Amino acid sequence: MTERGSLFMHFRTAACAFACVITILSPASARDLSESDYARANAVLPEGYVLPRAEALARITATLSASTVQFCKARTGRAPDDAVARFDAAFDAWIRVRHLSFGPFEFFLRGNRFQYSPDPGRRVARDLDALIARKDVASLAPREFAKGSVTLQGFPALEILFYDPKARVALRRSDGEGDYRCRVAQAIARNMAEMAAGVVADWRGGGGEPFLQVMTRPRSGNAYYQTHREVALQFFKNLYGGLDLLADVKLAPVLGPSLSEARPELEESPASGRSLAHVISSLEALEALYAAGLEGLLRASGNDTDLAPLLRRAFRMTIATARGIDVPLARAVADPAARRQVEKLLLQIRALKQLVSRRLSAATGLVVGFNALDGD
């Protein structure tokens, strides 16, 4: 049997109990939910789901910025480890909101500035090397840095400085090279803290209509949403889009079509090796998004009564699979035994995508076209 044939058989035997439910059970026909049904979901999601996560990102990136300053003052003792720990926590906080690609998270290109990804050509590393070679202190001033290349402004660039073996050593040097690298690290951390604070200010109302109000009071003349259904549809797209990002951007390219064609160099966070930790954080955030409001819409519809517990179970199984992979993603895809777990994880996430796009969509009346979901 060929390697691809073996992979197909593995998919059938390892995950059919989970994935085949989708093809055996057809989606129920949706009854129309009312604006008041959608409004109840929207009363919870923006303020109860989005805002706490945005505030956590602002709080943790501010701590990261302060820790980076302390690291650059000491460069010995606990300071380096503390800064790296704060970096990990801040990156996780960003991952928990990355799927919310609308409004304040996308104003001023914040999404790309927080995380320039995917980056198959390693532009972040090349641009960081060029910045360090120039030793241009003026470009690190807050306003200048925020107007500069998006590749340098966020987590991927700071990850290289903190985690890449050679960059890590150079950052700790007490000479001009180390000093400039520390200035770069401080500029990145400060920039992310300022962006995160800006996200919260825009949600709360920093000089204009609060985006929280934009989402909870849709109306004619609202530039973003005119009905509560449109707001709920935004969150539905974020749920599907988050799963799509995990499957088709974070996992599938790294796996490749076979063991011999794996692409470990495409791992999203190669320096830290925390790509799978980010997958887990993403899945947990997406499960929480579903539970916070979309499940309520599903239950209010009275349709497809098997779907709510099935989605809960599917999320639990998928997260458990991700947690069971105990080596970094780049190593896992090149190891026959660990690779099977990554293949299983990818299959489960794609099954979740189908549950959402076929059955949750039909049951809640949150229907969007193929192009809107998949970008084709």
Task: For 341-358, write each residue's pLDDT tens digit.
Answer: 999 999 999 999 999 999
Token couple for 349: 């996430």
Q: Are 96 and 282 in contact (CB under 8 A)?
A: yes
Q: Reply yes or no on whether the pLDDT at 30 is more than 70.
A: no
The pLDDT assigned to 140 comes to 98
Which residues does 30 contact at the CB level (< 8 Å), separation at least 6? 301, 303, 362, 363, 364, 365
As a 3-state breakdown, the chain gives helix, strand, coil percent values, each rounded to 5, of: 75, 0, 25
Same domain, 204 and 236: no
Angstrom distance (rounded) from CA 367 to CA 357: 8
Indicate whether 54 belongs to any domain: no
Mean pLDDT (whole number) for 219-246: 96
The answer, as to whether pTM is greater than 0.95, is: no
Same domain, 365 and 247: yes
30 secondary structure, DSSP code: P
Same domain, 183 and 298: no
Indicate whether 47 belongs to any domain: no
Mean pLDDT (whole number) for 70-82: 84
Indicate whether 215 belongs to any domain: no
Q: Are 317 and 348 in contact (CB under 8 A)?
A: yes
Indicate whether 263 belongs to any domain: yes
Q: Kindly report the three-state secondary structure assignment for every residue of 234-247.
A: HHHHHHHHHHHHHH
Same domain, 162 and 274: no
Mean pLDDT (whole number) for 231-255: 98
What is the domain count for the chain?
2
Domain residues for the domain of 195 are 60-209
Of 148, 178, 209, the domain-final residue? 209
Same domain, 256 and 304: yes
Mean pLDDT (whole number) for 154-180: 95
Indicate whether 152 belongs to any domain: yes
Same domain, 73 and 199: yes
Indicate whether 94 belongs to any domain: yes
Same domain, 199 and 319: no
Q: Are 278 and 269 in contact (CB under 8 A)?
A: yes
Same domain, 322 and 364: yes
Same domain, 238 and 364: yes
Same domain, 259 and 197: no
Same domain, 276 and 360: yes
Q: Reply yes or no on whether the pLDDT at 286 is more than 80.
A: yes
Q: How confident is the model at residue 14 (pLDDT cuts 50, 70, 90)?
A: very low
Indicate whether 126 belongs to any domain: yes
Percent pLDDT > 90 in the chain is 85
Q: Reply yes or no on whether the pLDDT at 28 is more than 90.
A: no
The pLDDT assigned to 1 comes to 42
Indicate whether 41 belongs to any domain: no
Q: Are 271 and 161 in contact (CB under 8 A)?
A: no
